[in-house]
Structure 1
Amino acid sequence: MSRARDTQRARVYAWEDRFVAPFGGGAVGFAQAARMVEAIWADLGLRYPPRVEPLPAQARRRLADADRMRLRLPESVPDWVLLHELAHALSATHDGQSDGHGARFLGLYAQLLIRYLRIPEEALFSSIAEAGLRVDRAARPPFLDPVRA
């Protein structure tokens, strides 16, 4: 089974650098990031947060990565990158499949940015529209939805 092409990836990264990063509050250490993941997961009313693991030393082209079961982070990571990776964990389905940087991911990420970085909602969604990105403003983690027979 092949994965669908992640058509928004580069545009999401460019939008983050231009719009999201200036709202960031700084770097978060690894131990603090692990506690934040647990606290945010619980604050969202969810159980079984993803594990936080060290990013492998050979990972030179990425700041971090995530799926439903784990977030892999360096020793220090910008707070907005932590929320980005958490949105990947939230957007993954039961079988771990993600929509990459698609509309569901971006909707969940936007909700995290509004709630935890306190980015004004109107400005955030305006910037997303200006960047030409698809977003599902009502996105929910797919693992919360009942499995359809």
Structure 2
Amino acid sequence: MSGRDRQRSRVYAWEDRVVAPHAPDLIPFAAAQPMVNAIWAEMGLRWPPRVEALPPQATARQADASRLRLRLSESLPSWVLLHELAHAMTSTAEGETDRHGPRFMGVYLRLLERYLRLPTESLLPSLEVAGVSVDLAARPVFLDPLS
């Protein structure tokens, strides 16, 4: 995707207001790779991204992600891990990504519902108010069935 990430600030504000209060728990870095592996497999995917430490100079963020790796801080909220997994699931190894677009949001909502028990139906009105577009039919861009 070229151009600006038009929904980024709206998505971040929505998360702070709606998602973060429901998931204050912190995941230690050591637990992240097993969690990523399990979630990846439960979503019907193979070859999960590698979990790496976020560089010390990255002081303004808790994590970032691509299809091949998630870079995480020493501990982070569970919803942040799900956010980064949604990025990995909506990016290709070549670097094509939906950023914070409708496909990303559709996959992210699926993860929030499944792992934080936040029903999509209850989140949709707040997303509409926030002006965030969602593709409810979104799936990871590289679905590779295990069978």
- Normalised by the size of structure 1, how large is the TM-score? 0.92
Which amino acid in structure 1 is aligned with residue 132 of structure 2? L
Match of 2:35 in 1: 36
Quote the Cα distance in structure 2 between the aligned partners of 1:68 and 1:31.
20
Match of 2:105 in 1: 106
Match of 2:89 in 1: 90
Q: Verify the 8 A CA contact 1:67 1:92 in the aligned structure 2.
A: yes
**Unpaired segments of 5 or more residues in structure 1?**
none
Larger relative contact order (C-alpha < 8 A, sep ≥ 6)?
2
Q: Verify the 8 A CA contact 2:44 2:143 in the aligned structure 1.
A: no
Match of 1:67 in 2: 66
Which amino acid in structure 1 is aligned with residue 92 of structure 2? T
Corresponding residue SS for 1:92: coil
**1:6 matched to 2:5:** yes
Quote the Cα distance in structure 1 between the aligned partners of 2:24 and 2:103.
25
Quote the Cα distance in structure 1 between the aligned partners of 2:2 and 2:54.
23
Match of 1:134 in 2: 133
Q: Verify the 8 A CA contact 1:68 1:93 in the aligned structure 2.
A: yes
Moved more, 117-126 or 50-59: 117-126
Which amino acid in structure 1 is aligned with residue 5 of structure 2? D
Corresponding residue SS for 1:114: helix
Corresponding residue SS for 1:142: coil
Q: Verify the 8 A CA contact 2:63 2:84 in the aligned structure 1.
A: yes
Which amino acid in structure 1 is aligned with residue 73 of structure 2? P
Q: Verify the 8 A CA contact 2:68 2:93 in the aligned structure 1.
A: no
CA deviation map 1:9-45 (0-9, x unaligned): 0000000000000111500000111110000001111
CA deviation map 1:81-101 (0-9, x unaligned): 000000000011352211110
Identity in percent: 61
- Normalised by the size of structure 2, how large is the TM-score? 0.93
Which amino acid in structure 2 is aligned with residue 23 of structure 1? H
Task: Flag the 1:55–1:94 CA change in 2: closer, same or farther, 3 A.
Answer: closer
> Size of the alignment, in residue pairs?
144
**Unpaired segments of 5 or more residues in structure 2?**
none
Quote the Cα distance in structure 2 between the aligned partners of 1:88 and 1:69.
10
